[in-house]
């Protein structure tokens, strides 16, 4: 809960669904004599894949101790999803909640941690809200995203404030090779329509200039977002237009410049409280997101490299006809240095972050808030990778203009038991600075302290060919949690923010993938206990058990797949009195290349038309069908 304003007044059940997954498996096994290949839309990351999220510098997956997932463009397209959060919800350790359909307020929980405890980047640009705290997931356009990297576990010693639960990096398309245009169209249930087009490639001598440009428009008539209570019974759809541009220039073998831009406008319907049938209104949420970044990468010697970045992110949320508006601007400056000496890797970074919040007084509930703050940081890192041993050590000190200094650190170690098996262990601390709204609004308290976390985890991983397995057990204990509490020292008699809570996120994540009978099987199970340490209650909207399973294969030119998403019982409130029942959903999809340059995708989500809730009294889509056609010259 952020404030009492129009902004706010907005045992796993697997048995029935397992039948559909097993039916697909039987069908594929019956054709096992025919040549079957691994479906590209279920590609498991190989140990040679390079990621940047774990340490902020490029590293092969085989060198990492951290718990990382990768989502590529093929997986995104095959998902048929319209929201970034919907794609992420199919990964281990991640749950979502949403107040209605796509375009409405969306929360994402990494290992049970709140949205504000995940640091989010788009092309290296930090995205955050100094009003609600955390990225506003409904604003991020999936159509512009090429690749996603997810780091589970705290990373404040690398990224600073916010990275208590994890880090999520989203990347737009990057140009390479010959010019590659594409056009895609799609139609789906509830009047869903999509249109996207773009081009990427490289040009000039030695392909020194790379470029990428994309535009997309999506809209849906939607459905009635509310299931009960006084509300407008209209359909709460959305309209979104987005685009991205990316330009890179390789000055010479040692120096490269990159510039990125992403912009999105979202207009979505929602149902505000206080609805009066005598004077019906169409409540709309109008949101804008813009990210820009300029990067200079330099390889001074074979061992020493640097990267300088200047970034800016602007987010805006506004409601009509009930007046409310909040705007956040986040500017960042980074000087990253890396030195490699044999098996040793040293890093040092200077970083500055500047936040500005503008929350004008538009109704009787709010007062004008126009505040800024800054954080300056020094981060040091050391990595070692040789033989069977992998070590990663990071320390960081952040100096906040409002509350002073905060130090964080992490230590991770991995040992290769065999070429296929590796055991890992890590500990780390993290923090989240109070938002400007929590400190300086009419409900704010200037003396709020940072929320802090202490995490420990153990992991065991196996990888060989198309088979992989991982088991990760973790415990993340948080203190100084900021909640909206009773009356206190703030200006409002309704209530104030306060450091009044402690929480613990602990659990076990199991994930596996295996190729058998011509089918790639994959899945994950999360057994967790996110709870309030003061009273032992389960934290709101998070299940103790959730899982995903899938099977993918190629048959006679078709890629076929089935997914099962399941979640146990959750509670919608801190007192654990409002129950959100468990659910299991079956999704089916198929795609084929109609001709050399044309690909057809068909997908059915929630095959059983299961009625379920991600937030109490808010509806979910039911059974939906989506068909898409994409032209991309080969």
Residue 200 or residue 494, greater confidence:
200
Closest to 542 measured CA to CA, from 89, 14, 95: 95
pLDDT tens-digit map of 578-587: 999 999 999 9
Residue 238 or residue 368, greater confidence:
238
pLDDT of 38 over the 50 cut: no
Residue 114: strand, helix, or coil? coil
The pLDDT of residue 4: 39
Specify if 522 maps to a domain. yes
pLDDT of 36 over the 50 cut: no
Residue 548: strand, helix, or coil? strand
Taking residues 363-385, report their average pLDDT: 88
Specify if 412 maps to a domain. yes
Q: Tokens 């200047």, residue?
A: 310
Taking residues 284-310, report their average pLDDT: 97
The whole-angstrom separation of Cα 360 and Cα 357 is: 10
Taking residues 457-468, report their average pLDDT: 94
Taking residues 478-502, report their average pLDDT: 91
Task: Using the CB atoms, write b or e for 336-352: b if 16+ within 10 Å.
Answer: bbbebeeeebebebebe
pLDDT of 294 over the 90 cut: yes
The whole-angstrom separation of Cα 198 and Cα 183 is: 7
Residue 489: pLDDT band with limits 50, 70, 90: confident
The pLDDT of residue 363: 64
The pLDDT of residue 11: 33
Q: In what order do the strands lie in the sheet with 145-152?
A: 67-71, 145-152, 166-172, 118-122, 125-127
Window from 60-69, 300-309, 383-392, 544-553 with minimum mean pLDDT: 60-69
Window from 469-483, 487-501, 512-526 with minimum mean pLDDT: 487-501
Specify if 501 maps to a domain. yes
Taking residues 211-219, report their average pLDDT: 97
Taking residues 100-118, report their average pLDDT: 95
Specify if 2 maps to a domain. no
Taking residues 349-378, report their average pLDDT: 88
Taking residues 435-462, report their average pLDDT: 95
Residue 41: pLDDT band with limits 50, 70, 90: very low
Q: Tokens 């092309």, residue?
A: 123
Residue 48: pLDDT band with limits 50, 70, 90: low
φ/ψ of residue 252, rounded to 5 = -155, -170
φ/ψ of residue 61, rounded to 5 = -55, -30
Give the CATH number of the domain where residue 584 resides: 2.40.170.20
Closest to 166 measured CA to CA, from 449, 351, 432, 400: 432
Residue 278: pLDDT band with limits 50, 70, 90: confident
Residue 362: pLDDT band with limits 50, 70, 90: low
The pLDDT of residue 587: 95
The pLDDT of residue 49: 72
Specify if 564 maps to a domain. yes
Q: Tokens 């109490």, residue?
A: 616
- Asked if 144 contacts 242 with a C-beta cutoff of 8 angstroms, the reply is yes
The pLDDT of residue 119: 97
Q: How many CB atoms lie within 10 A of CB 539?
A: 22
Residue 427 or residue 11, greater confidence:
427
The pLDDT of residue 279: 86
- Asked if 328 contacts 309 with a C-beta cutoff of 8 angstroms, the reply is no
pLDDT of 62 over the 80 cut: no
The whole-angstrom separation of Cα 161 and Cα 375 is: 9
Specify if 6 maps to a domain. no
Taking residues 376-388, report their average pLDDT: 96
pLDDT tens-digit map of 124-144: 999 999 998 999 999 999 999
pLDDT of 24 over the 80 cut: no
The whole-angstrom separation of Cα 263 and Cα 111 is: 29
Question: Where is 610: in which H helix or E strand?
Answer: none
How many structural domains does the chain have?
A: 1
The whole-angstrom separation of Cα 328 and Cα 562 is: 40
Taking residues 251-264, report their average pLDDT: 97
Taking residues 104-123, report their average pLDDT: 96
To the nearest whole number, what is the mean pLDDT of the chain? 90
Residue 374: strand, helix, or coil? strand
pLDDT of 17 over the 80 cut: no
Using alpha carbons only, what angle is made at residue 494 by residues 489 and 498, rounded to the nearest 5 degrees?
45
Percent of the chain whose pLDDT exceeds 90: 79
Give the residues across from 347 on adjacent strands: 338, 381
Range of the domain at 200: 15-631
pLDDT tens-digit map of 142-178: 999 999 999 999 999 999 999 999 999 999 999 999 9
Torsion of CA 144, 147, 152, 157, to 10 degrees: -90
pLDDT of 59 over the 60 cut: yes
The pLDDT of residue 12: 33
The pLDDT of residue 308: 98
pLDDT of 365 over the 90 cut: no
Q: List the structure tokens of 302.
A: 């074979």
Region of 602 please: left (phi>0), alpha (psi -120 to 50) or beta.
beta
Percent of the chain whose pLDDT exceeds 70: 92
Specify if 539 maps to a domain. yes
Specify if 4 maps to a domain. no
Residues 6+ apart with CB under 8 A from 27: none
Q: List the structure tokens of 207.
A: 């392909």
The pLDDT of residue 14: 35
Q: How many CB atoms lie within 10 A of CB 505?
A: 26
């Amino acid at each position: 809960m952020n404030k009492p304003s129009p902004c706010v007044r907005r045992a796993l059940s697997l048995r029935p669904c397992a039948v559909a997954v097993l039916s697909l498996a039987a069908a594929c096994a019956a054709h096992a004599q025919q040549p079957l290949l691994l479906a590209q839309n279920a590609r498991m990351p190989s140990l040679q894949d390079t990621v940047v999220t774990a340490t902020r510098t490029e590293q092969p997956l085989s060198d990492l101790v951290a718990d990382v997932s990768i989502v590529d463009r093929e997986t995104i397209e095959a998902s048929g999803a319209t929201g970034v959060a919907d794609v992420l919800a199919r990964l281990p350790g991640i749950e979502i909640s949403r107040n209605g359909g796509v375009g409405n307020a969306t929360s994402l929980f990494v290992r049970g941690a709140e949205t504000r405890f995940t640091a989010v980047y788009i092309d290296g640009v930090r995205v955050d809200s100094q009003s609600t705290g955390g990225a506003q997931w409904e604003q991020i356009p999936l159509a512009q995203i090429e690749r996603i990297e997810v780091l589970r576990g705290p990373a404040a010693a690398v990224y600073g404030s916010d990275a208590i639960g994890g880090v999520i990096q989203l990347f737009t398309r990057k140009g390479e090779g010959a010019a590659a245009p594409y056009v895609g169209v799609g139609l789906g249930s509830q009047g869903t329509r999509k249109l996207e087009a773009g081009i990427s490639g490289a040009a000039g001598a030695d392909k020194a200039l790379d470029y990428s440009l994309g535009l997309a428009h999506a809209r849906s008539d939607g459905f009635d977002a509310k299931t009960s209570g006084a509300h407008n019974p209209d359909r709460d759809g959305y309209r979104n237009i987005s685009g991205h541009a990316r330009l890179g220039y390789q000055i010479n073998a040692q120096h490269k410049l990159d510039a990125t831009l992403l912009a999105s406008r979202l207009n979505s319907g929602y149902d505000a409280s206080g609805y009066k049938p005598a004077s019906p209104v169409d409540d709309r949420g109008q949101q804008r997101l813009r990210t820009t970044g300029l990067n200079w990468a330099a390889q001074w010697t074979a061992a020493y490299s640097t990267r300088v970045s200047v970034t800016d992110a602007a987010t805006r949320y506004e409601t009509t006809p009930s007046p409310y508006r909040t705007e956040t601007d986040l500017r960042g400056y980074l000087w990253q240095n890396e030195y490699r000496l044999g098996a040793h890797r040293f890093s040092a970074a200077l970083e500055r972050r500047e936040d500005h919040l503008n929350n004008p007084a538009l109704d009787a509930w709010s007062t004008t808030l126009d505040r800024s703050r800054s954080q300056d940081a020094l981060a040091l890192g050391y990595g070692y990778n040789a033989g069977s041993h992998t070590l990663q050590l990071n320390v960081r000190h952040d100096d906040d203009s409002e509350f002073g200094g905060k130090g964080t650190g992490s230590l991770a170690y991995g040992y290769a038991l065999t070429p296929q098996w590796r055991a890992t262990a890590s500990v780390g601390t993290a923090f989240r600075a109070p938002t400007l709204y929590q400190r300086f609004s009419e409900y704010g308290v200037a003396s709020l302290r940072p929320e802090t976390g202490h995490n420990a985890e153990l992991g065991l991983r196996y990888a060989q060919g198309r088979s992989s397995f991982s088991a990760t057990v973790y415990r993340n204990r948080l203190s100084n949690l900021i909640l909206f509490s009773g009356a206190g020292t703030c200006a409002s008699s309704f209530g104030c923010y306060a450091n009044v809570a402690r929480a613990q996120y602990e659990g076990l994540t199991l994930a596996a993938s295996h190729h058998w009978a011509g089918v790639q099987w994959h899945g994950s199970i999360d057994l967790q206990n996110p709870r309030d340490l003061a009273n032992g209650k389960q934290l709101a909207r998070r299940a103790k058990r959730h899982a995903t399973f899938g099977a993918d294969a190629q048959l006679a030119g078709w890629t076929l797949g089935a997914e099962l998403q399941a979640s146990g019982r959750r509670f919608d409130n801190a007192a654990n009195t409002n129950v959100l029942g468990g659910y299991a959903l079956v999704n089916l999809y198929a795609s084929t290349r109609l001709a050399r340059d044309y690909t057809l995708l068909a997908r059915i989500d929630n095959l059983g038309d299961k009625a379920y809730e991600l937030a109490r009294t808010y509806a979910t889509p039911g059974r939906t069908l989506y068909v898409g056609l994409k032209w991309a010259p080969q």
